A and B are shown apart, each in its own frame.
Chain A
Amino acid sequence: MRKRQPFSWRTLLLLIIVALSGQGCFGIGSNEKPFATVSHSQSVSVNQGVFQGKFYLTINGNLYVLNGATQTTQELVDTGNVMDPAVSPDGKWVAFVKKYQNYSDLCVVSTNGGQVRVLRSGNGYFYNASGLIHNTYHWYVQPAWSQDGSTLLFLSDLEKEDWYQQTGQDAPLLDLQVFATPFHNPTVTPTAVAYATYGDGGDQNPSYRPGHPNQIIYTHYTYDAATRTQQVIQLYMEDPNAISENPGVYYPGSPGGGYDPAIAITPTSSTVTDPAFSPDGNAIAFTKTDSSSNQMELDVMPVPPASITQTPNDPTAEQLALHAYETESSHLLTNTYLSEPVWSPDGKQIAYYNYSNNTFDLWIAQVSYNAKTSKYSLQGNPRQVTSGGVDAASHPVWTN
């Protein structure tokens, strides 16, 4: 009887090649092991040892905490309509938004989870007024805490029916404006903090400057004054009390018009969004879109002198406000999509959403500051925190 041929080395080699190819296909072989897999309708893994502290973010509309110390993932709210988490300075509360078909609620939950409390509800109804359909619904989005935890900034269309006469516009002001409400008494009428101009979505990403309770920053969307067809997207700083302390002085406006207490810290020629103050309040991380290449940048700039928000409509202050951006910006990264930067609690890293392999995921870049040049630079290669996709329109929070 014929002796069976021993297993050929060529066959073995072929099997090894097939196995290695399979590894590549299935993503096996990465140095970093996922320590947690988030699984609702989407599988998202978190890489081990990439970060310290905690990340609060949303995946498929559910609120998660990624804990770098315990290597665990906790789902705080699982209703599938959550966005915009913001953690209180004392680390006890997460303010967030629950979005419904026509409105949203501003909510809060303990950082340990538990019962969700609605701070303000935007629920309402449609009604007919002289043949025109109006409604009493409201949006409450993108909450941000003051450093003492007493006040919440948020965006809303609260005053949408209030400005027909003042602005001469024959349409409600749907564009979102910045408001503030006391955390412990959220049902009182919120205070207007920053106004919008008609027609381009209003303001976005408001936040207080750490160590400077009289300064906030946000992204302002409008159209150019000359043609009213070209978008102008800039970062603005402002004294959050200027409007409330000067009743009747400031008001929302049309492109190129209006009069408000904000001052632009980036020029009209650049499309700059997503400002994030460093923990010491001295630097601003932001994203910039290159209109020619449609690529996005992650950059850092120093904060302009604090005096600019005291004289917002003064031409000298306006020039001074742009100086830091124009002369001291540091470029860190470029990619198709980069968004929602957030600093690590020690200010040595910046987390952001990056678009890779057709998903938006959380990445971390190590940065260093050179006091001589007043510039930031990237240290090493950015590292990926999540794989599988997170909600890129809902910003992350990084705490101790």
Chain B
Amino acid sequence: MKCFQATFFNKAAQESPVFEAGEEWAFLSSSFRKPLPDSRAAVPGPSTPWSRQRLARRRKIPRCGCVVLTVLALLLLTLGGVAASLFFTFSSSLNQIVGQHASCAKGTASNTDQNRINILLLGSDTDQKFQNQPLAQTNIVVTIDPTAKTVGMLSIPRDFFLDVPGYGMHKLDEAYSLGGVALSCLTIEQDFGIPLNYYAWVGLDGFINVINTVGGVDVNVTHTIVDDTYPNDINNAKDPYALERLYLAAGPQHLNGQEALEYVRSRHADLVGDFGRSARQQQVLTALKSKLDDPGIFGKLSTIANELKGSVKTDMQLTDVLKMMNFAKGLNVNAIQRLVLGPPYSTPGTAPADSGIDAGASVVFPNCSEIIPALQKLFQQGFQATCKIEGNPGVSSRAASQQNVAASPANHPLSLAASMAGNGNTSAELRLESVGSVGGNCVVSMLDGPGDLFGVRSMLDLMFLAVFESPDVLQV
């Protein structure tokens, strides 16, 4: 039909004595709207057989073609508009996530393995608290070795009782509350000797909102979930250590965001502990990613990007996140190592009287003799693991730490850290470039097809990584 139309119009143009170069376009475009009164006057009269035939063809063909072409044109215009709108929406949203000015404070920890990249993932209870510095319930170090093509994840319990520079003995989650991202990074750097290049902060509310935005997830709950000590820390400003009870019946069912978070976060619902939790996470991730792969998700992407805007913050650039996620996804699952500093790496207990927190509060004491070799193995060559505090309730480094805090603000550990932070990012960026090249499947474009439009998918993976505290998210 299109070929026929083109032939006809060209022929008409050639035959019409009044047509000149450039007027053919006017003829074509006007045919969409009206029956061409001017051009009709220019061609031989309607009484001749040729003109009758031509008019008959002109009447028959454009009618149907007009509808189709008009619809197509409108469709293209609409799609173009939507694409432009999405681009601006996503750019605006994602730009508020990445490139945060707050950055990891640089301590004295050093790593002779210049290619290795360490990223601190912090998970907090609610969104909108990034600036207000609530407790960080999740503290995970993701370590990437682009040369050896390995990724490791170190999960440090929130109740780890350790020296927070400048504040003495506290729980690890309080470091974020006392000094934000910078102090969280500095604490881990100082106490374990792990140099940190980047951080990413995730609000758990964002996970709930994202799941609700995609309409929840449908899973087969493989056994009844009962948990009497689930953390009641979402939107609970009064007591961030409060507990709540969970009950989720076994069987296929629809889970909203809150229920899905409970299902994947509960640590006490299985005899097999983290194995069971990991299986549950796989279920939810599979269901969630299936929804995210559905073409119908396009209509909700801007909402998801908006949810991400409030619940993920990082000092990485977007391309860095894309490279990191694609590198990790390209790895064999066996190449992802995981270390959780639960028993035997730590021992539950209560805070001693001379610490920075209330005596008798529940804490977890690091077991340094177990931790150091485990860290050495995870971070491999060129790394000097440290463990500044021993798992002994009677020993506190508070006094020693307080001696480090001089009266002058310039001598405060955070000030020192901030002054050193400026030198760190350049080399880290270079290393992330190497991640891209070594990974082989690095994404350098913001537009990676429907699977990762504008990098939203990679941002979601970053969020899942912090919420699930598991490398499983990279393998689903």
Q: Which residues of A contact B221 (CB under 8 A)?
A: 393
A175 within 8 A of B: yes
Asked if B226 and A392 make an inter-chain contact with CB atoms under 8 angstroms apart, the answer reads: no
A228 within 8 A of B: yes
Asked if B269 and A201 make an inter-chain contact with CB atoms under 8 angstroms apart, the answer reads: yes
Given contacts A5-B59, A201-B269, contact A14 B67 (CB under 8 A): yes
A99 within 8 A of B: yes
Asked if B249 and A10 make an inter-chain contact with CB atoms under 8 angstroms apart, the answer reads: no
Q: How far is it, in angstroms, between the C-alpha of A2 and the C-alpha of B41 when the chains are bound? A: 13
B227 within 8 A of A: yes
Q: How far is it, in angstroms, between the C-alpha of A5 and the C-alpha of B244 when the chains are bound? A: 74
Asked if A233 and B223 make an inter-chain contact with CB atoms under 8 angstroms apart, the answer reads: yes
Asked if A131 and B360 make an inter-chain contact with CB atoms under 8 angstroms apart, the answer reads: yes
Q: Which residues of A contact B374 (CB under 8 A)?
A: none
Asked if B249 and A157 make an inter-chain contact with CB atoms under 8 angstroms apart, the answer reads: no
Q: 8 Å CB contacts to A: which residues of B238-294?
A: 243-245, 247-254, 268-272, 275
Q: How far is it, in angstroms, between the C-alpha of A274 and the C-alpha of B221 when the chains are bound? A: 13
Asked if B253 and A392 make an inter-chain contact with CB atoms under 8 angstroms apart, the answer reads: yes
Q: How far is it, in angstroms, between the C-alpha of A174 and the C-alpha of B226 when the chains are bound? A: 6
Given contacts A104-B247, A296-B252, contact A223 B224 (CB under 8 A): no
B225 within 8 A of A: yes
A183 within 8 A of B: no
Q: Which residues of A contact B250 (CB under 8 A)?
A: 201, 204, 219, 221, 273
B350 within 8 A of A: yes
Q: How far is it, in angstroms, between the C-alpha of A204 and the C-alpha of B272 when the chains are bound? A: 20
Among candidates B35, B225, B350, residue contacting A201 with C-beta atoms closer than 8 Å: B225
CB distance from B295 to the nearest CB of A (A): 13
Encoded as 1 (CB less than 8 Å from any B CB) or 0, chain A from 123 to 141 comes to 0001000010111010101
Among candidates A10, A134, A199, A391, residue contacting B64 with C-beta atoms closer than 8 Å: A10
Given contacts A10-B64, A231-B223, A337-B220, contact A133 B229 (CB under 8 A): yes
Q: Which residues of A contact B275 (CB under 8 A)?
A: 229
Asked if B63 and A355 make an inter-chain contact with CB atoms under 8 angstroms apart, the answer reads: no
Q: How far is it, in angstroms, between the C-alpha of A274 and the C-alpha of B220 when the chains are bound? A: 13
Q: Which residues of B contact A199 (CB under 8 A)?
A: 270-272
Complex: chain A residue closest to B221, CB-CB: A393
A309 within 8 A of B: no
CB distance from B273 to the nearest CB of A (A): 9
A103 within 8 A of B: yes
Asked if B226 and A201 make an inter-chain contact with CB atoms under 8 angstroms apart, the answer reads: yes
Complex: chain B residue closest to A354, CB-CB: B252
B228 within 8 A of A: yes
Asked if A11 and B64 make an inter-chain contact with CB atoms under 8 angstroms apart, the answer reads: yes
Q: Which residues of B contact A229 (CB under 8 A)?
A: 272, 275
Most A CB atoms within 10 A — which of B63, B225, B249, B253? B249
Q: How far is it, in angstroms, between the C-alpha of A174 and the C-alpha of B225 when the chains are bound? A: 10
Given contacts A131-B362, A231-B223, A353-B252, contact A255 B247 (CB under 8 A): no
Q: Which residues of B contact A255 (CB under 8 A)?
A: 271
Encoded as 1 (CB less than 8 Å from any B CB) or 0, chain A from 148 to 173 comes to 00000000010010000000000010
Among candidates A5, A99, A142, A202, residue contacting B63 with C-beta atoms closer than 8 Å: A5
Among candidates B220, B223, B251, B272, residue contacting A340 with C-beta atoms closer than 8 Å: B251
Number of residue pairs spanning A and B whose beta carbons lie under 8 angstroms apart:
120
Q: How far is it, in angstroms, between the C-alpha of A256 and the C-alpha of B218 when the chains are bound? A: 32
Asked if A202 and B226 make an inter-chain contact with CB atoms under 8 angstroms apart, the answer reads: yes
Q: How large is the interface on B (under 10, 10 to 19, 20 to 34, 35 or more residues)?
A: 35 or more
Most A CB atoms within 10 A — which of B64, B229, B244, B251? B251
Q: Which residues of A contact B215 (CB under 8 A)?
A: 358
A381 within 8 A of B: no
B441 within 8 A of A: no
Asked if A339 and B251 make an inter-chain contact with CB atoms under 8 angstroms apart, the answer reads: yes
Encoded as 1 (CB less than 8 Å from any A CB) or 0, chain B from 39 to 64 comes to 00000000000000000000110011
Q: How far is it, in angstroms, between the C-alpha of A141 and the C-alpha of B35 when the chains are bound? A: 74
Asked if A172 and B228 make an inter-chain contact with CB atoms under 8 angstroms apart, the answer reads: yes
Among candidates A11, A135, A339, residue contacting B252 with C-beta atoms closer than 8 Å: A339
Among candidates A101, A137, A228, A392, residue contacting B251 with C-beta atoms closer than 8 Å: A392
Q: 8 Å CB contacts to A: which residues of B306-350?
A: 350
Q: How far is it, in angstroms, between the C-alpha of A353 and the C-alpha of B252 when the chains are bound? A: 9
Asked if A200 and B63 make an inter-chain contact with CB atoms under 8 angstroms apart, the answer reads: no
Complex: chain B residue closest to A13, CB-CB: B64
B222 within 8 A of A: yes
CB distance from A286 to the nearest CB of B (A): 12
Q: Which residues of A contact B67 (CB under 8 A)?
A: 11, 14
Q: How far is it, in angstroms, between the C-alpha of A164 and the C-alpha of B228 when the chains are bound? A: 16
Q: 8 Å CB contacts to B: which residues of A79-117?
A: 83, 99, 101-104
Q: How far is it, in angstroms, between the C-alpha of A239 and the C-alpha of B59 when the chains are bound? A: 85
A57 within 8 A of B: no
Complex: chain B residue closest to A197, CB-CB: B271
Complex: chain A residue closest to B230, CB-CB: A102
Q: How far is it, in angstroms, between the C-alpha of A231 and the C-alpha of B362 when the chains are bound? A: 32
Q: Which residues of A contact B226 (CB under 8 A)?
A: 139, 157, 174-176, 201-202
Q: Which residues of B contact A102 (CB under 8 A)?
A: 244-245
Among candidates B248, B272, B350, residue contacting A228 with C-beta atoms closer than 8 Å: B272
Among candidates B64, B222, B245, B248, residue contacting A103 with C-beta atoms closer than 8 Å: B245
CB distance from A4 to the nearest CB of B (A): 10
A8 within 8 A of B: yes
A198 within 8 A of B: yes
A389 within 8 A of B: yes
Among candidates A198, A201, A353, A391, residue contacting B223 with C-beta atoms closer than 8 Å: A201
Q: Which residues of A contact B362 (CB under 8 A)?
A: 131
Complex: chain A residue closest to B283, CB-CB: A294
Most B CB atoms within 10 A — which of A102, A135, A142? A102
Q: Which residues of B contact A219 (CB under 8 A)?
A: 250
CB distance from A364 to the nearest CB of B (A): 18
Complex: chain B residue closest to A132, CB-CB: B362
Complex: chain A residue closest to B255, CB-CB: A393
Q: Which residues of B contact A391 (CB under 8 A)?
A: 253-254
Among candidates A11, A174, A273, A392, residue contacting B227 with C-beta atoms closer than 8 Å: A174
Asked if B271 and A200 make an inter-chain contact with CB atoms under 8 angstroms apart, the answer reads: yes
Q: How far is it, in angstroms, between the C-alpha of A172 and the C-alpha of B272 when the chains are bound? A: 16
A360 within 8 A of B: yes
Among candidates A8, A141, A392, residue contacting B247 with C-beta atoms closer than 8 Å: A141
Among candidates B244, B253, B268, residue contacting A101 with C-beta atoms closer than 8 Å: B244
Complex: chain B residue closest to A335, CB-CB: B252
A181 within 8 A of B: no
CB distance from B45 to the nearest CB of A (A): 14
Asked if A14 and B247 make an inter-chain contact with CB atoms under 8 angstroms apart, the answer reads: no
Asked if B228 and A355 make an inter-chain contact with CB atoms under 8 angstroms apart, the answer reads: no
A207 within 8 A of B: no
Q: Which residues of A contact B245 (CB under 8 A)?
A: 101-103, 135, 137, 139
Given contacts A126-B243, A358-B218, contact A131 B251 (CB under 8 A): no
Q: 8 Å CB contacts to B: which residues of A296-348?
A: 296, 337-340
Asked if B271 and A228 make an inter-chain contact with CB atoms under 8 angstroms apart, the answer reads: yes
Among candidates A2, A198, A360, residue contacting B218 with C-beta atoms closer than 8 Å: A360
A289 within 8 A of B: yes
Given contacts A176-B226, A337-B218, contact A393 B244 (CB under 8 A): no
Q: Which residues of B contact A176 (CB under 8 A)?
A: 224, 226
Asked if B63 and A11 make an inter-chain contact with CB atoms under 8 angstroms apart, the answer reads: yes
Encoded as 1 (CB less than 8 Å from any A CB) or 0, chain B from 196 to 226 comes to 0000000000000000000100101111111
Q: Which 4 A-B pairs have the closest CB atoms?
A: A199-B271, A201-B224, A337-B252, A201-B223
What are 19 inter-chain pairs, A to B, with CB distance below 8 A?
Answer: A11-B67, A14-B64, A14-B67, A83-B249, A102-B244, A135-B245, A141-B247, A200-B223, A201-B223, A201-B269, A229-B272, A231-B223, A233-B223, A337-B218, A338-B252, A339-B251, A360-B252, A360-B254, A393-B251
